Amino acid sequence: MSVQAISEAEAALAHLERLTEVLRAGGWIVEVAAHADRWPSALVANPEMRGLNENVIAVLEQPAGSWAYFYGWGERICPCAEPEAAAAALARVLSARRDA
C-alpha cells in the first residue's frame, strides 16, 4: 500500500485555492503563486482599483494544529475553515471608499 504525504506547502496551497474560489465568485481578482522556493501566497486585488491589493498566506498554527489565513504582514484574518469570512474581511480592507 502506498502512502502519499502532503507537505505543509501543498496543504497551504489547497487552503488558498478554496479562498480563491470564494473571492473570484465575488468578482475579486486573485493570483496564486506557488514557487518551489517560496511559501504559497495569493495576491487579492480590488477589480475597480487594482492598486488596492493584499497578499494572503495560509499558515499551520501551533500548538493547535489548525490552519488560518494571514495577511502578508502577519496579521491573522481567520481560520481556513471559514473562507467566506476571510473573503469578507479582505473585501472590507480592499474596498475603495465610495463616500469620498
For residues 45-64, give the mean pLDDT: 93
- In the chain, the percentage of residues whose pLDDT exceeds 70 is 89
pLDDT-based confidence at 99, cuts 50/70/90?
very low
| Four-residue CA torsion sign, 26, 99, 85, 28 | positive
Q: What mean pLDDT, rounded, does the chain reach? A: 90
Of residues 36 and 20, more confidently modeled: 20
What pLDDT was estimated at residue 6?
A: 66
Distance of CA 18 to the CA centre of its chain: 8
